């Protein structure tokens, strides 16, 4: 489970910041926990993703050091 403040990557949206974890009934099937996401590229948008689906719809974003290590490894990839 991700935490408030984490950065995640959402397909078709890109990098988002988890601003909060809220309880809502968006589908009429009962109250569930949702991540409230703000896309980094558009801070006016708000997205909600169920906490239950976090592993299929979200992945952790790389931090700067991880990204730089990956970039340095590119010349060595077959």
Task: Report phi then psi at 22, rounded to 5.
Answer: -125, 160
Query: What is the arithmetic mean of pLDDT over 18-22?
Result: 96
pLDDT over threshold 70, residue 50:
yes
Distance CA 36, CA 22 (A): 7
For the chain, helix, strand, coil in percent to 5 are 25, 35, 35
CB 11 within 8 A of CB 24: no
pLDDT over threshold 80, residue 24:
yes
Query: What is the arithmetic mean of pLDDT over 20-37?
Result: 93
The pTM of the whole model exceeds 0.85:
no
Rounded to the nearest 5 degrees, what angle is found at the Cα of 58, between the Cα atoms of 52 and 63?
A: 130
């Amino acid at each position: 489970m991700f935490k408030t403040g984490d950065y995640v990557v959402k397909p078709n949206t890109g990098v988002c910041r988890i601003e909060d974890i809220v309880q809502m009934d968006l589908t009429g099937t009962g109250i569930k926990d949702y991540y409230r996401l703000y896309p980094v590229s558009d801070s006016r948008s708000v997205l909600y993703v169920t906490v239950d689906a976090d592993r299929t719809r979200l992945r952790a974003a790389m931090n700067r050091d991880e990204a730089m290590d990956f970039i340095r490894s590119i010349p060595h990839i077959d």
